[in-house]
Chains A and B, each alone.
Chain A
Amino acid sequence: MVNATVGGEQEHYGSFFAQTEYESKALTLSANILFLATQKLNLTLSGSFINSKGTMDITDMTEVPDEVFDNVASADYDYTPIIDYSDLAYTQYQLSFGGEYKITEKVSFTADAVYYDLTDDEGYVYGIETGSLYIIRTGVRIGF
């Protein structure tokens, strides 16, 4: 529905509005695998994936009446950036792998690694947020 409210020779022309459509989608996946390879060795593998998108469309924006366009000479009434500005999307995933090996009954060696990745190239407020981080951990567990 569109309704323009324009009047005569006034310097003030009120406002007009148009119908929009906003859509958001978010997909989340996660999976884990545990494997007891031997009595001394266990392994884990896990991952997660998130993809989120938001878009807005102006489904029916009215033409700006000539009267307004001519009188308000400094405005071009180009609404395309409104739609672009509303496009939001990011993808994030995480992968981790780890294992623990029993050297003796009370001493184990552990090692694991995790990788986080974010892709967000929209960059409206904080700039491009695409980046990644990884952590590698190793150590020895002693029981007593």
Chain B
Amino acid sequence: MKKTDVCVLISLLIIVGLLISSSPTFSQDEPSFSSWSLWLGGHYTGLNDFYKKVGEFDSGKEGALPEVLLNYSGYKGEKNLWFSGHYYDSKRISLELSGRSKEVLSGKVSYSSFYRQREKDLLSNLMVREATNQSASPPGGGKMVTHEDQTPNADFGYTRHQIKSDFEVKVPGKAKLKLIAAHRSILEKGEDQKIVSMHCSSCHLVSKSVDVDRRTHSASLGFEINPSNVFLSYMFSFRSFKSEAPVPVAFYDTAQNPINGTDLSGRVIFSGEEVPFGKLSQNQKLAHTVKVSTQMGKSKIFGSFTNSQAKNISEGLEIKSNGGTLKYVVNPSLKTKFIAQASLNRIENDTVGVDNPPWGKTDPALEDSEQFDFIRYSNLTRTEAKGSAEFIYQPQRKYRLSFSAGYQQIKRDDYPEAGADEKTNKLKFSIGGKYRPTSKFTGLLKFFLESIKNPAPYNLIFENPGKNYPSPFYYYQREELRYGQVTNQPTLVNGVELNLNLRPSPKASLSASLRASLGTNSDIDTLDLKQTKLQPTFSFNLTPTPKWNFFGNLSYIYNKSNGLAAVAMMDG
């Protein structure tokens, strides 16, 4: 951590201490308690074989180290203070200080750090050279994939530091005003792998070691007020991200045919030069959230509205969103309940203009160079509307039935192409029941069905034969030759959820659940999609005597889906 970060942490710790201790004085007769606990010891870490995955969040150093734990908890009157500190090793340290005074002021400040080991992509699965005959006898053709590791002995990983603080002040008075402030900083520092990919004359991947120095800061400030039967809250939040590490630079290969040395630099953007790569953008996000709720007789109304702006400061791009929800809950009688919800969200993501240098400018066979500039429209620019209604009926204490229906529409402005306004519509239905004959058994069963119209398939995946244009203009024709759709999204989902809870005695409890669903899609022209999902769980807790306690759980997840594999048949 930098000196400024250490200063922030110390300042926050002092603020909490001062705020708690500066509250109104208390009587000497007030009850008090304090307890310290110090643990002094050490640990030995042993490693075998490849330890970077199994010990991903360990520092990965074999040997013995001292370790210290210190805890304090105490109260005096209506004030309490709690402290915990743990030194595991130089990269895993945690400190936490929290306190509360007279139900008016509360605060918590914490610091924690750990080391994360990062594995290295060996790139060894990327070593291929074009065959010139079916027996693949050497030397092979000019098209190949090769890789290069410039730091074979690098030990990648970074230390993550987190400083977090939360404060609440309850202002005395009938308005029940509460002021809320929170802050979190995450600092990551170390070393990681980045891979540069060069293409055209040959595919050449280069692995480099780069510095990591990522800084994320977030803060929020707001209030809650609850004067009578109306609750109102407002929260402003801010988050920023910046990398302080130098932008890595790589030498891009000189583009030439690896067999005969023909100059191919006119086909690539970078050739034989140092180029910055893997730059992390500086980002900032601002959000305002208002929530309101009120009770009117047998009815409750909840509402919320959020406005947010996220900016990529480095590139001058912005994404804006505005969204609101409304929820209405009413109990028409003691045995019935009705819940209605509606929400509307609008997201607008800036388009990105990609400015490529002219292509073919060095190819003497071409009279004019070609422009390949394009605009990238975002699939995220969309309007999403949702509405649902649920009716719950409980004729007896033992039984409860529920029925629900919902509708959702997503309109994507620019998918699959600019201005398309393609819509996905979803209808949801469910029916469920709860059975609780005694306090020892509870069972819940629910069936659900979702019907999805046009779940945004990927279009034009495959390619027909029919090359008529000469190279290089054939590349324009390839778009004309494309056909077919692929999706992994179903148009119909049927499912069931079952939950059973058994408590035969105060010493034992068992629970089991199952969620199963089948999704299908027969709308696309290339595949009848079928997805099966099964997820059973089981857990138990047994305390046969006051000395023994057993608890455990089991979960199983099974997914099966069909799909398509596409293979290109081409001759160079």
Contacts and interface: CB of A to CB of B under 8 A. Distances in A.
Contacts of A12: 465-467, 474, 570-571
A103 interface: no
A120 B141 contact: no
A138 B36 CA distance: 20
Nearest to A25: B558
A142 B68 CA distance: 11
Contacts of A132: 47-49, 51, 54
A28 B462 contact: no
Interface in A17-67: 17-37, 58-59, 61, 64
A3 B130 contact: no
A12 B133 CA distance: 18
Interface string A112-144: 000011101000111111111111111111111
A142 B37 contact: yes
A5 interface: yes
B480 to A, nearest CB: 12
Q: Is the interface of B mostly helix, strand, loop or mixed?
A: strand
Contacts of B69: 141
A136 B43 contact: yes
B428 interface: no
B569 A133 contact: no
A115 B236 CA distance: 45
B184 interface: no
Given A17-B526, A20-B565, A131-B53, A126 B122 contact: yes
B464 interface: yes
A26 B567 CA distance: 30
A139 B40 contact: yes
B36 to A, nearest CB: 5
Contacts of A136: 43-44, 46
B314 interface: no
B564 interface: yes
Contacts of B51: 131-133
Max count, chain B CB within 10 A of own CB: residue among A8, A26, A71, A79: A26
A133 B59 CA distance: 11
A105 interface: no
B327 to A, nearest CB: 35
Contact of B124 (A32, A127, A142): A127
B548 interface: yes
Given A12-B465, A21-B562, A72-B570, A133 B45 contact: yes
Interface residues of B, number: 76
B86 to A, nearest CB: 12
Contact of B564 (A8, A17, A30, A116): A17
B563 A22 contact: yes
Interface in B554-572: 554-572
A74 interface: yes
A124 B54 contact: no
A117 B54 CA distance: 7
Given A75-B134, A135-B45, A20 B557 contact: no
Interface in B17-71: 35-55, 58, 67, 69
Nearest to A8: B465
Contacts of A130: 49-50
A5 B464 CA distance: 6
Contacts of B372: none
B298 interface: no
Max count, chain B CB within 10 A of own CB: residue among A59, A61, A64, A118: A118
Contacts of A75: 131, 134, 569
A75 B48 CA distance: 43
A118 B527 CA distance: 38
B53 A129 contact: yes
Given A13-B570, A14-B466, A136-B44, A35 B548 contact: yes
A5 B548 contact: no
Interface string B438-470: 000000000000000000000000111111000
Contacts of A8: 465
A135 B555 contact: no
B2 interface: no
Contacts of A128: 50
A2 to B, nearest CB: 10
A138 B42 contact: yes
A139 to B, nearest CB: 2
Interface in A65-124: 68, 71-77, 79, 82, 92, 110, 116-118, 120, 124
Contacts of A20: 562-565
B94 to A, nearest CB: 16
B46 to A, nearest CB: 5
Given A18-B565, A127-B122, A5 B556 contact: no
B546 interface: yes
Contacts of A23: 558-560
B124 to A, nearest CB: 7
B11 interface: no
14 contacts: A17-B567, A20-B563, A21-B560, A21-B561, A35-B547, A116-B54, A130-B49, A130-B50, A131-B47, A132-B47, A135-B58, A138-B42, A141-B69, A144-B36
Please list the 3 inter-chain residue pairs (A to B) with the smallest Cβ-Cβ separation, ordered nearest first. Answer: A139-B41, A7-B465, A31-B552
Given A15-B567, A129-B119, A135-B58, 4 more contacts: A14-B466, A76-B131, A126-B119, A139-B41
